[in-house]
Structure 1
Amino acid sequence: MTNKPKVLMFDLGGVIVPWVGLIELSKICGITADEVNARFADSDVFAAYERGHVPDFIFLAELVDMFDLDLKDPRFKDPAALWNSWVHAPYPNTLETLATLKSRFTTACLSNTNALHWAHLNTMFNTSETFHHDFASHHLNEAKPDAACYTKPLKIMGVEAKDVWFFDDTMANVEAARRVGITTHHVDRAVGVLPTLRELGLID
């Protein structure tokens, strides 16, 4: 492996853990996953929630409104539980692999997330123990693909962009990280990060 990185930085949803919200909302609403994504992208409330600027209850009301969820339907009576149900346990063998990588590299996560998902993730594994640095958009008050969402973690870690390899399943985030000088790797969210790590020779 050439140009060995100092830092391996990982997105979470679609890389370390499956996030199936796009698929589930497309089924519920009878629209495409791209249309679901577009509704999130058009929501100022969701953008603010990812950046830690609005509380859970405001976002949950927006979620119900965005997708016209009928709260009388038993499936939707608890929007917070529904929201968290779409974040699944880590892809098989991923936590063990991260533990091995942590002994060889500085490791970090950088995730567009929110208070509810962050708390839910930390019931499945401890992000601060799994990684040397755990960066969440709602803590940084920045979100990918904005450049500041990458440059703030670089400053906190005290490293240069050229020393970091970043893994993300969303091409816009990959391209944005590349523009600030980070080496990027696009991950297939259907399988998570392990195949990409093998291709790069980081694991057997």
Structure 2
Amino acid sequence: MNDSIDWLVFDLGGVVVDVKPAAQMLAELAEQTRTSSGHLAEVLRERFTTQPFSLAERFQIGELDEAGFHTALNHTLVEPIAPDRLTHELEAMLLGEHEAMRALMQTLARHHRLACYSNTNAVHWRYMQQHFRFFDVLERAFASQEIGFAKPDRRGFAHVADALDAEPGACLLIDDRQINVDGAKAAGWQALRFENIESLRRDLAALGVAGVA
């Protein structure tokens, strides 16, 4: 094994958790609120590359709590959405945990220390903790809205490495977004772009990570 890798750190959405396509979510919300999908795409963008941050980005770094996000979002909609309906729509974005990935993580956990670092929000985090089992194989779990930083901000990676009591270069991020992979590397981490579980197995094996055979 590559001894320099002390922690395998997983992204969640698109890696461990299957999610509804963003275009579908925007189309459904646009229809319900009679608001253009183009406007919603800007209000709910999740890139963390443009200031000021969108409402969704502010929700994901904890600047807005659940009630604050609902109120702020309604101010931008043609037809307001009820709080319980918005919560339902947010939860419906999470289609379930990827069973094959959870099984791989269980195997990896026999040999390595596992954590997650997710750009998420209070609704998604609560729902995942209540309904998904992958948390059982993680030693640590980091959510952007709790630590105040979201990927690809290098401050978030520094925070996580410090909390893990690990050197940045000893942390390996597995993420489906290239911008986050690049951000991790810029922060001194190792990182892999997730495309599918088969390619992840090959990439991990190439690094000498045990438990992927």
Is the partner of 1:134 in helix, strand or coil?
A: strand
Partner residue of 1:40 out of 32, 45, 60:
45
- Partner in structure 2 of residue 144 of structure 1: 151
Q: Gaps spanning 5+ residues in structure 2: where?
A: 31-35, 47-51
- Cα drift, residue 154 of structure 1: 0.4
Separation of aligned partners in 1, 2:116 and 2:93: 19
2:8–2:173 contact (8 Å) kept in structure 1: yes
1:22–1:37 contact (8 Å) kept in structure 2: no
2:55–2:73 contact (8 Å) kept in structure 1: no
For 1:148-187, what aligned pairs fall within 5 Å after superposition? 148-187=155-194
Residues 26, 152 of structure 1: alpha-carbon distance in 2 compared, 3 angstrom cutoff: same
- Cα drift, residue 24 of structure 1: 1.8
Separation of aligned partners in 1, 2:104 and 2:115: 14
Residues 31, 48 of structure 1: alpha-carbon distance in 2 compared, 3 angstrom cutoff: closer
Partner residue of 2:63 out of 7, 28, 53:
53
Amino acid at match of 1:132: E
Q: Once superposed, what is the RMSD of the aligned Cα atoms? A: 2.7
Q: TM-score, normalised by structure 2?
A: 0.79
Separation of aligned partners in 2, 1:126 and 1:140: 22
Partner residue of 1:111 out of 96, 110, 118:
118
Is the partner of 1:93 in helix, strand or coil?
A: helix
- Partner in structure 2 of residue 198 of structure 1: 201
1:51–1:142 contact (8 Å) kept in structure 2: yes
1:111–1:135 contact (8 Å) kept in structure 2: yes
- Cα drift, residue 51 of structure 1: 1.4
Q: Gaps spanning 5+ residues in structure 1: where?
A: none
- Cα drift, residue 96 of structure 1: 2.0
- Cα drift, residue 52 of structure 1: 1.7
Is the partner of 1:135 in helix, strand or coil?
A: strand
Count, aligned residues = 195
- Partner in structure 2 of residue 96 of structure 1: 103
Separation of aligned partners in 1, 2:178 and 2:43: 15
- Partner in structure 1 of residue 14 of structure 2: 14
Residues 117, 68 of structure 1: alpha-carbon distance in 2 compared, 3 angstrom cutoff: farther
Q: TM-score, normalised by structure 1?
A: 0.82
Separation of aligned partners in 1, 2:129 and 2:166: 26
1:102–1:132 contact (8 Å) kept in structure 2: no
Amino acid at match of 1:139: E
Is the partner of 2:201 in helix, strand or coil?
A: helix
> Quick one: percent identity of the two aligned structures?
21
Is the partner of 1:14 in helix, strand or coil?
A: coil
1:39–1:66 contact (8 Å) kept in structure 2: no
Residues 82, 54 of structure 1: alpha-carbon distance in 2 compared, 3 angstrom cutoff: same
